[in-house]
Amino acid sequence: MLRITRGEESKLTAWYFEIDRGLLGLILALIVIGAITMITAGSAQAAKMGQPWFFFFKKAFPFYMLGLACLFGCSMMSKRTVIRLSIACLIFGLFGLLVTLIHPVAVKGSARWANLGGGISFMPADVLKPALIVLTAWFLNKMRSVYGSDIFFNKEAWRAKWISWWPYIAIFCLCLLIFFKHPDIGNMILYFCVLGVMLFVAGLPWKLMPWFGGALGLLGAVAILTKAHVRGRFNHMFDVDRWSQAWYSINAIKHGGLFGSGSDAYVKDVLPESTNDFVYASIAEDWGVFGCLVLVTVLLLVLSKLIRHAIHAREDFVVYAIAGTAALFGGQICFNLMTALHLVISKGMTLPFVSYGGVSLVTFCIIFGMILALIREDTWNR
C-alpha cells in the first residue's frame, strides 16, 4: 500500500504534512452538504421548471470543480502570491462594480450583478471579498511597520501619502457608495462589520466602536428612507404575509420536526430560493433539528479553528487576515440563518459553501485556500 512519509521531499508531501487537514476536511464536509442539498432541494425546483431532477446540480458542477481547484491551488501558494492574487481580485472586482453602474443586471430590485457573457453573471461584491480580507490585513500590518503601534491617533498616518489612511478609506468608501446605490445593503453591512473587527484586532480602542455602530445604523436608516426596495423589505419584516418567502421558510422548518420529513417534505417544493437564501429551511425540512445541529456544528468548528489559529499566529498580517475571514464567514452565516428564521430582512446572502451560487462558492474557496496557505507558512516557516 502506498504511504506518504514526511521524509519524502516534494512540494506535495510538504503541503500534505503542513496544511491544517482538520480545517480543510471541515470545508470539504460543508461542500458535500451543499451538493446533497443541491440535489434534494434543487430537484423540486427543477421539476417546477419542467427540467430533469439534476438540472441545478448540473449547472453547479463546473463551479464545484473550479472551487475545489481554487481551494487546493490557493492553499499551496506563498504569502507573496496570495497578496498578488488579492490585488487581481481587487482590480477585477472594482471593474465589475463600475460595470454595474454603466450596464447593470438587475435581479429582484437590486442592480448588483455584472454580466460576463454567455449567460454568466456575478456579483462584484463577492469577488472583492478576498481583496477585502488580505489587502486590509496587509495594509494594517504595513501601517504598523511605518507608524508604530498607534496607527489610529498618529498624525503622520493621516497625512496625504500612499501609505496612509486616505487611499484605503477612498477605495473602501467608493465600494460602499456603489453598494448603497444598487442597493446591496447586506454586503454593505457585512463589509462594514468585517472592517470593524479587523480594526479592533489591530488595536482600535473600545471607545470608538460605538461610532462604528452609529455609522452603520445611520446608513441603514438612510437606505430605508431613500430606497423603496429596502423600505418594502423592511416593512414586511414586521408582518409575515401568508405565502411569502418568510412564511414558507418558517413552515418548512416547523414541518421538519426533530428528524426531518424525508420523502414527505413538501414545503420546500414551493419555497422560493430553497437552494440559496433559504437553504437552511430546506435542510431543516429534509433532516430536521438533528440535521441542522450537524450543519451548525460544522460551521462552528470552522469558526473555532480560525479563532484558534488567529490566537496562535506569530505574524500580525496573518492574525488580521484570519480575524477578517472569521468575521466574514461568521457574519454571512448569521445573515443567512437569521433570514431563514425571519429575524432580519432578506438580503440575498448565501450560506458559505452550502448555498447554490457559483461565484460565491468559488470566492469562499479562494478565501479559505489563501488562509490555509497563510496558516501553513506562518506555522512552518519559522
Q: Which residues contact 327 (CB under 8 A, 6 or more apart)?
A: 193, 194, 197, 198
Q: Given pLDDT bands bounded at 50, 70 and 90, which one contains residue 269?
A: low
Helices (H), the chain: 11-18, 21-48, 55-75, 79-102, 124-147, 165-181, 185-201, 209-226, 228-236, 245-256, 279-312, 316-340, 358-380
Grouping H, G, I as helix, E, B as strand and the rest as coil, residue 122 is strand
As given in the structure block, the three cell numbers for residue 254 are: 416547523
Burial profile 218-239: b = 16 or more Cβ within 10 angstroms, e = fewer? ebeeebbeebebbeebbebeee
**Nearest-CA neighbor of 299 among 33, 11, 79, 16?**
33
Q: How many CA atoms lie within 13 A of 51 on its CB side?
A: 14
Percent of the chain with pLDDT over 70: 87
pLDDT in tens, 70-123: 999 999 999 999 999 999 999 999 999 988 888 877 766 667 888 766 666 788
As given in the structure block, the three cell numbers for residue 250 are: 418558517
Q: Given pLDDT bands bounded at 50, 70 and 90, which one contains residue 382?
A: low
Given a cut of 80, whether residue 287 has pLDDT beyond it is: yes
pLDDT at 58: 83
Grouping H, G, I as helix, E, B as strand and the rest as coil, residue 266 is coil
pLDDT in tens, 27-82: 999 999 998 888 887 777 777 777 787 788 888 888 999 999 999 999 999 999 99
pLDDT at 257: 80
Cis-peptide into 167, omega within 30 deg: no
pLDDT in tens, 219-244: 878 877 877 767 767 666 666 666 56
Q: Which helix (DSSP H) or strand (DSSP E) does residue 112 occupy?
A: strand 110-117
Burial class for 11, CB neighbours closer than 10 Å (0-12, 13-18, 19+): exposed
pLDDT at 312: 92
As given in the structure block, the three cell numbers for residue 348 are: 440575498
Contact 229, 110 (CB under 8 A): yes
Question: Across the strands, what pairs with 117?
Answer: 120
Maximal CA-CA distance, the chain = 67
Pairing of strands 120-122, 110-117: antiparallel
Tell me 350's DSSP state.
Answer: P
Q: Given pLDDT bands bounded at 50, 70 and 90, which one contains residue 309?
A: very high
Q: What phi and psi, each to the nearest 5 degrees, are found at residue 55?
A: -55, -55
